[in-house]
Amino acid sequence: MKIFLAQQNYLIGNFESNTQKIIDAIVQAKQGGGDLIVFSELSVCGYAPRDFLEFDDFIDACYASLDVISEYADTIGVLVGAPDRNPVREGKDLFNAAFLLYEKKIQGVVHKTCLPNYDVFDEYRYFEPSYDWKVLEFKGKRLAVTICEDIWNLGDNPMYRICPMDKLMSFQPDVMINLSASPFDYTHHQSRKAIIKANVTKYKLPLFYCNSIGSQTEIVFDGSSLVFDAHANLCGELPAFSEEMRAFVLNNDGTIDSPVIEPAEQVPAEQLEQIRFESDLQVAAVHDAIVLGIRDYFSKMGFTRAIVGSSGGIDSAVTLALACEALGASHVRAVLMPSPFSSSHAVDDAVQLSVNLGNQYDVIPIGNTYESFLQALQPVFKDLPFGIAEENIQSRTRGNLLMAIANKLGYILLNTSNKSELATGYGTLYGDMAGGLGVLGDCYKMQVYALGRYINRTRDVIPLNIFSKAPSAELRPDQKDSDTLPDYSVLDSILYQYIERTQGPARIKAMGYDAALVDSVLRMVNINEYKRNQFCPIIRISPKAFGIGRRVPIVAKYLS
**Nearest alpha-carbon partner for 192 in 164, 247, 157, 234:** 234
Are the CB atoms for 437 and 306 separated by under 8 Å?
Answer: no
For residue 117, the tally of other CB atoms under 10 A from its CB is 13
For 2, half-sphere exposure in the C-beta direction (CA atoms, 13 angstrom radius) is 12
Q: Is 112 a catalytic residue?
A: yes
**Amino acid letter for position 184:** F
Full DSSP string of 291-310: HHHHHHHHHHHT---EEEE-
Radius of gyration of the chain (CA): 26
Q: Is 210 a catalytic residue?
A: no
**Nearest alpha-carbon partner for 554 in 538, 531, 530:** 530
* Beta-strand relationship, 306-309 and 412-415: parallel
How far is residue 308's CA from residue 413's CA, in Å, rounded to a whole number?
Answer: 6
Instruction: Report CA-CA distances (Å) from 399 to 341, 392, 427, 431.
Output: 17, 10, 12, 4
**Nearest alpha-carbon partner for 151 in 180, 111, 118:** 180
Which position among 21, 45, 112, 210 bears the catalytic label? 112
Are the CB atoms for 553 and 525 separated by under 8 Å?
Answer: no
Which position among 148, 163, 210, 324 bears the catalytic label? 148
Q: Is 148 a catalytic residue?
A: yes
Length of the chain: 560
Q: Which strand (E) or helix (H) includes residue 448?
A: helix 445-455
How far is residue 128's CA from residue 516's CA, in Å, rounded to a whole number?
Answer: 47
How far is residue 160's CA from residue 527's CA, in Å, rounded to a whole number?
Answer: 34
Query: Which residues are marked as active site?
Result: 41, 112, 148
